[in-house]
Amino acid sequence: MTDRVYIFDTTLRDGEQSPGATMTHSEKLEIAAMLDDMGVDIIEAGFPIASEGDFAAVSDIARLSKNSVICGLSRANFKDIDRCWEAVKHAARPRIHTFIGTSPLHRAIPNLDMDQMAERIHDCVTHARNLCDNVQWSSMDATRTEWEFLKRTVDIAIKAGATTINIPDTVGYTAPVESADLIRRLIAEVDGADEVIFATHCHNDLGLATANSLAAVAGGARQIECTINGLGERAGNTALEEVVMAMKVRQDIIPYETRIDTRKIMAISRRVATVSGFPVQFNKAIVGKNAFAHESGIHQDGMLKNRETFEVMRPEDVGLSGTSLPLGKHSGRAALRAKLDELGYEVGDNQLKDVFVRFKELADRKKEVFDDDLIALMRINEGAEDHLKLTDLRVVCGTGGPAEAQMKMLIGGASKEVTTRGDGPVDAAFNAVKSLFPHGGRLQLYQVNAVTEGTDAQATVSVRLEEDGRIATGQSADTDTVVASAKAYVNALNRLIVRREQTGVDYDTKGVSYKDAGA
């Protein structure tokens, strides 16, 4: 008989804290629906006190959820907890998650001694439990908290009514043996520990998040906190796909089950990568581009004879087709729809019509359009408002002097054009965008990846901009790297505009307001 492990996904809260990973309201609702559909037990939808936008997202997710528990995060004070409850109370199954840092370093921040902190934990968990019968308490930086004090605080939280006790490795400091032992000792030594669920929340600073989470389960934890693609602050969180597939593949030594439909993993991985602007590294376990690729002659020979020779799981188990069959310029709408459905994209008739036009344009430039080309095609301008739209770009460059970019762009519906120079074609194109739409955004990241092989391969470009503490990432793909770069830059700017609108501040730098720029 296998034990049940609950999957707590915090992509929309902890994952979104990654610099540049902020999602729009509609994107959060879409990701939440996908998590709910794939079988995630608890969705941490956000931090309601953080902003009006966060509160609205958590509240709407709570209303729309079908199966998952919807959880909001709150600090250890009544104001946070009340705001959290206001957001999650609309869910069929709401949860309040309150936390406080218990290690010496974290106790110093609010300047509380042990007795004061113990009293606050009791009061806050009691207050939360009076509002909601499903309360989670977290001892932030638990792995660096003195044992006796950690045991004391867990005992207080349980007696105050917490139903889930989370033991986070907030800074990715622990190791598997220690992770398992910590949970095991708490369950053995704290009164009432057998009546609550213990959770583990691990960060990946030392590359041990997955191992530490699974070790904690072996020690008695029955809830794993994780994110899609391991998204999160610094080096990220435990990756949902890794712990789920580890338990699925190694039932012989990790005999625990979840209710995750693993066939939906690839679709949500790609979607999170798109809306967050954080591409998945090629050699990432489970969901990386190379996770099921075999180039070595020995590996290819073994695969041809028996795929289990070098694969411990089937591509189909995580939502891959197992093969990458290209489409071409003679392919029709039915074939395109079937392929998109296979890749995890549900498209309506109007959207299909638009995608089909772009697919045909790409097929005219490429001999074969592969799965990855279609994924890149679906990412173009997803989730961004089109206040700015690139309509034409022509670049002159070479060894004889500076590059020149001639650009036309729609700004608020009005057409503008300019010719600028730069140190190379991409710099010239970016200067053209800044000339047409002056802004204070600072370029933090410019990254180019080839989608497939060959000189006609599409380039996927990621651009991250920062302005006044707001960070936005844009992506685009094109067989012309300069065009893809310009479109990604414009896409990031559109997202910055959305950030400004969400906070009620006009996009106004150097005397130019985005509301007036196209007039």
Instruction: Give Cα 506 distance to the centre of its chain.
Output: 27
14 marked ligand binding residue: yes
Q: Taking the CA atoms of 78, 151, 103 and 244 in sequence, report the sign of the dihedral they define.
A: negative
Which pLDDT band, with edges at 50, 70 and 90, does 297 fall under? very low
Whole-angstrom distance, CA of residue 356 vs CA of residue 134: 47
Which pLDDT band, with edges at 50, 70 and 90, does 295 fall under? very low
Question: Cβ contacts of residue 264 below 8 Å, gap of 6+?
Answer: 34, 37, 38, 319, 344
Question: Cβ contacts of residue 444 below 8 Å, gap of 6+?
Answer: 19, 20, 464, 465, 466, 471
Question: Where in 244-368 does DSSP place strands (E)?
Answer: 256-257
List 237's β-bridge partners, or say none.
203
The string of pLDDT tens digits covering residues 318-344 is: 887 665 556 777 788 888 888 888 777
Whole-angstrom distance, CA of residue 416 vs CA of residue 433: 10
Question: Cβ contacts of residue 209 below 8 Å, gap of 6+?
Answer: 169, 172, 202, 203, 230, 236, 237, 238, 239
Q: Where are the domains of the chain?
A: 3-276, 292-322, 324-379, 388-513
Instruction: Give Cα 398 distance to the centre of its chain.
Output: 39
- In terms of Cα–Cα distance, which of 221, 281, 273 is closest to 247? 221
Convert 405-442 into a string of H (helix), E (strand) and C (coil): EEEEEEECCEEEEEEEEECCHHHHHHHHHHHHCCCCCE
Q: Do domains 3-276 and 388-513 have the same CATH topology?
A: no
The answer to whether 375 and 358 are in contact (CB under 8 A) is no
Place of tokens 């492990």: 5
201 marked ligand binding residue: yes
Predicted pLDDT at 502: 58
Q: What is the pTM of this model?
A: 0.78
Q: What angle do CA 254, 255, 261 make, to 5 degrees?
A: 95
More confident residue, 504 or 450: 450
CATH of 3-276, one of 1.10.10.2160, 3.90.226.10, 3.20.20.70, 3.40.50.300: 3.20.20.70
The percentage of residues in the chain with a pLDDT greater than 90, rounded to a whole number, is 61
Whole-angstrom distance, CA of residue 158 vs CA of residue 184: 16
261 marked ligand binding residue: no
**pLDDT tops 70 at residue 507:** no
Phi-psi region of 109 (alpha: psi -120 to 50; beta: other; left: phi over 0): alpha
The string of pLDDT tens digits covering residues 117-170 is: 999 999 999 999 999 999 999 999 999 999 999 999 999 999 999 999 999 999
25 marked ligand binding residue: no
**pLDDT tops 50 at residue 302:** no
Whole-angstrom distance, CA of residue 121 vs CA of residue 119: 5
Lowest-pLDDT choice from 14-23, 128-137, 242-251, 399-408: 14-23
Give φ, ψ of 443 to 5 degrees. Answer: -70, 115
Q: What is the mean pLDDT of the chain?
A: 87
Whole-angstrom distance, CA of residue 149 vs CA of residue 234: 27
Q: b/e string for 333-360 if b means 16 or more Cβ within 10 A?
A: eeebbebbeebbbebeeeebeebbeebe
Instruction: Give Cα 143 distance to the centre of its chain.
Output: 25
Whole-angstrom distance, CA of residue 258 vs CA of residue 41: 9
CATH fold for domain 388-513: Double Stranded RNA Binding Domain (3.30.160)
The answer to whether 153 and 106 are in contact (CB under 8 A) is no
